[in-house]
Structure 1
Amino acid sequence: MEKKEAVTTMKSAIVLSALAAASALSAPVSAGLIDARDGKEGDVNIGVDASGQLVIEFGGEPVALPAISGLLSGFGLDEPGFFALEEDEPDENIFVLGPGASIVLEVLSFDPALKAWTPGFADILDQPGDTWTIGAAPFDTHPFWHIDANDPTFIAPPGQSEWNATFRLLDTGTTGYLPSEPVTVTFTPEPGTLGLLIAAGLVGRRRRLNG
């Protein structure tokens, strides 16, 4: 399926996909991983340093994604999001974005089968050079991160247990901040939810065989 066709299909499936993701949120999260529902603490926080370079604050721990099934299959959640810092942190040399800044995410590399759906499922980010205009501060916006089990390149755990998204941030506004350093966010299936994905796959296979 072509990328544009996939986007069109997903726009009609937003509600069903959201329900599928929400049903997975009751699964536990193991210690040592970011609970991707923690909000700001687990978000990608964005500011600028004294030299005028965009700065990203992120914990760096793997983000656990719950299993989902239905029109979206695999693992996914709309966390971490992207949050514009609201207060200066002079001790850390990080300051709030100035008026006129317009922040753009640029994909440098995504591991195969990993995708990010922009808010409203408007577009897919998965190829080097793909961009998403986050816009002016203040913002608190959330893409849907998706390890796609239907992608031909998907390798089910334990064959693959981590998927990496590497990106940087640009400023296309009047402030002209320098690009951020590249940042990599690592995603991993939430422990205890793989069985849900396997069960959903078996049910779908039986339906196809009986159809």
Structure 2
Amino acid sequence: MPIGWVVKLGGSLWASDALPHWLNGLAQNPVVIVPGGGLFADAVRVAQRRWHFADAAAHDMAITAMAQYGRLLCALCPALNPTTGLAELAELATTGRPAVWLPDPKHLSASGLATDWSVSSDTLAAWLAEALGAAQLLLIKSADLPDRACETDTLVARGIIDAAFPGHTRGTARRIWLSGSRQHERLAEGLASPETVFIEALPSRQVG
């Protein structure tokens, strides 16, 4: 059974009353959830501004922040299954159980991704979707979204996704979708027929 969906759940939802609704809906589907960094990643930014340590160190801390947010999601919704390894994620998703990825910096050292703030949980979700061979990627965002399909370069310019995302997804056959933070009531419909609910993020056609 192939993996259908990797779903990135934005860290900015951590304090939203919509969060439990998203978790309850996602828990009913065999998805792999990628947590954002939320308030945990914000703490890394504050510490770096104070002490001016290297981006590579901040990047590792931000990845750990994603895992912390993932543990929060699982604490709020025990039906979710937390795990770190790709094989375990694939096994959970392909046997119908919703999984939450708890990323570990050690496991990402060979990913080839930049170790700075150009890479956020958006690009890490795209990397994971590729690594797992998932058919579709959904980014759930609190930001104001376009009302029609939009290229990823434009989404970067609007501050909706991170700067590394277009380069990492250029040329992919995987379909990428955006959802607003209040569309949880239509999650089941969106997972079944994404074009009726979600906004498509089109891979950049630019070269270089």
Larger radius of gyration: 1
**Fold shared, TM-score > 0.5 on shorter chain:** no
TM tier, shorter chain? Answer: under 0.3
Of Structure 1 and Structure 2, which has the larger fraction of its residues in strand?
Answer: 1
Structure with the bigger percentage of helix: 2
TM-score (norm. length: structure 2): 0.27
